Amino acid sequence: MRSVGVLGGIFVGGGSSRMGRAKGLLPGPSGEALVVQLGARLRAVGATPVLVGARAEYEALGLPAIADARNGAGPLGGLVALLEAAGSRPAIAVACDMPWVDVGLLARLASAAPCAALAPRSADRWEPLCARYDPALVLGAARARLDRGQLALQGLLDEVGAIALWLDEHDLAKLHDWDTPEAFAAATGER
């Protein structure tokens, strides 16, 4: 099911200090950069992809980008910027280093019933960067948390009454990310 009007934010703002290079530029399963693959998957579910976090490393890709609402605020600064850019449209947030997030998972996020936030939950933790947000119901709380310096997305999801997106073990495996060179090498055999 296509969900036209969704803004899909691919979060690239992190420093990639553990990886040592821009994670979103790593070659994913198709051989293309992870952000290119995620952008195509978002378009396949009717979402408009945008990079969240204006980083020079990604400029050559020609993908639209928005700067974080506040530098140094981690993913919450990016989420506020994404929700502001989305306006009245739902927004999907996805981390750039999740190579296994596929069209099926994104379609479930895009086409689910309206709610403040919808995110996978495992072991009592949300996955806030593979989630859908309603700006009208979340942006005010996100801005207030940003102003107070409460930067944890876990707390934001709790505060807005997020709904858990049920995932089986196969789908939970799609949330594995490439945070370190070792994780990338284990998955691809490359360094």
pTM above 0.85, yes or no: yes
Query: What pLDDT shows up at residue 15?
Result: 57
Is 1 domain-assigned? Answer: no
Structure tokens at 14: 């992190």
Element (H, E) at 185: helix 181-188
Q: Identity (one letter) of the amino acid at 145? A: R
pLDDT above 80 (res 13): no
Is 93 domain-assigned? Answer: yes
Is 139 domain-assigned? Answer: yes
The number of folded domains in the chain is 1
Report which DSSP code applies to 52.
E
Is 190 domain-assigned? Answer: no
Query: What pLDDT shows up at residue 47?
Result: 97
DSSP notation for 82-99: HHHHHTTS-EEEEETT-T
> Residue 179, class by beta-carbon neighbours within 10 Å (0-12 exposed, 13-18 middle, 19+ buried)?
middle
**What CATH number has the domain bearing residue 131?**
3.90.550.10
Query: What pLDDT shows up at residue 53?
Result: 92
Phi-psi region of 101 (alpha: psi -120 to 50; beta: other; left: phi over 0): beta
Q: Which positions ≥6 away from 104 have C-beta within 8 Å? A: none
d(CA 71, CA 78): 9
Q: What range does the domain containing 14 cover?
A: 6-184
DSSP notation for the chain: ---TTEEEEEE--S--TTTTS-GGGSB-TTSSBHHHHHHHHHHHTTEEEEEES--GGGGGGT--EE--SSTTSHHHHHHHHHHHHHTTS-EEEEETT-TT--HHHHHHHHHSPP-SEEEEEETTEE-TTEEEE-HHHHHHHHHHHHHHT---HHHHHHHTTPEEE---HHHHHTT----SHHHHHHHHS--
pLDDT above 90 (res 17): no
* pLDDT (mean) for 136-159: 97
Query: What pLDDT shows up at residue 1?
Result: 36
Is 146 domain-assigned? Answer: yes
Is 189 domain-assigned? Answer: no
Is 121 domain-assigned? Answer: yes
Q: 10 pairs with which residues across the strands?
A: 51, 94
Q: pLDDT above 90 covers what percent of the chain?
A: 68
Is 24 domain-assigned? Answer: yes
Q: pLDDT above 70 covers what percent of the chain?
A: 86
Average pLDDT, the chain: 88
Query: What pLDDT shows up at residue 131?
Result: 98
* pLDDT (mean) for 29-55: 93
